[in-house]
Amino acid sequence: MRESKEVKVKYFVEDLEELCCVPGSDWVDLRAAEDVVLKAGAFCLIPLGIAVALPEGYEAHVVPRSSTFKNYGLLQANSMGVVDGSYRGDGDQWRWPAYATRDVRIPKNTRLCQFRIVENQPPLVFTRVERLEGPDRGGFGSTGT
């Protein structure tokens, strides 16, 4: 069994359901911290009601839940959000950049997106070479053809 990491969370809203790990998954659901009404074509940074002090050496990846588009017609405007470890201040509330494809009402505490934390990559050194030794697979977009 892996060792647990402590993650300090500040809640901006008293009646927001608290974060918890879903059994059998390493993703954590995030919820709308207030009722939100959007018209088709509107963009909104939906407050998620939390600020997080990620463990040292980790970052969070935030993506939509699989049902978010089907149920609410919302797209995450930046495809995937990355919260780096320095975004940990008392006022650094997480928000979700939503683009509405139809008129929608999102009730407070609706699960819209999810996150997981991943370890930062190690320091990298890039070396210019004339040739790579791996097999040529045909370039980007060629897999499966």
pLDDT band of 144, cuts 50, 70, 90: low
> Of 15, 26, 35, 84, which one is the catalytic site residue?
84
Structure token pair of residue 133: 């030794």
User: Percent of the chain, pLDDT > 90?
Assistant: 83
pLDDT band of 135, cuts 50, 70, 90: confident
Question: Is residue 84 annotated as part of the catalytic site, yes or no?
Answer: yes
**Span 58-63, average pLDDT:** 97
What pLDDT score does 145 carry?
56
DSSP-assigned letters across all residues of 45-61: EEE-SEEEEPPTTEEEE
Domains and CATH numbers, the chain: 8-119 (2.70.40.10)
Q: pTM for the complete prediction? A: 0.88
pLDDT digits (tens, 9 = 90+) for 99-132: 999 999 999 999 999 999 999 999 999 999 999 9
| Statement: residue 143 has pLDDT above 70 | no
Q: Give per-residue burial for 104-132: e unless 16+ CB within 10 Å, then b.
A: bebebebebbbbebeeeeeeeeeeeeeee
pLDDT digits (tens, 9 = 90+) for 20-55: 887 788 899 999 999 999 999 999 999 999 999 999
What pLDDT score does 126 carry?
97
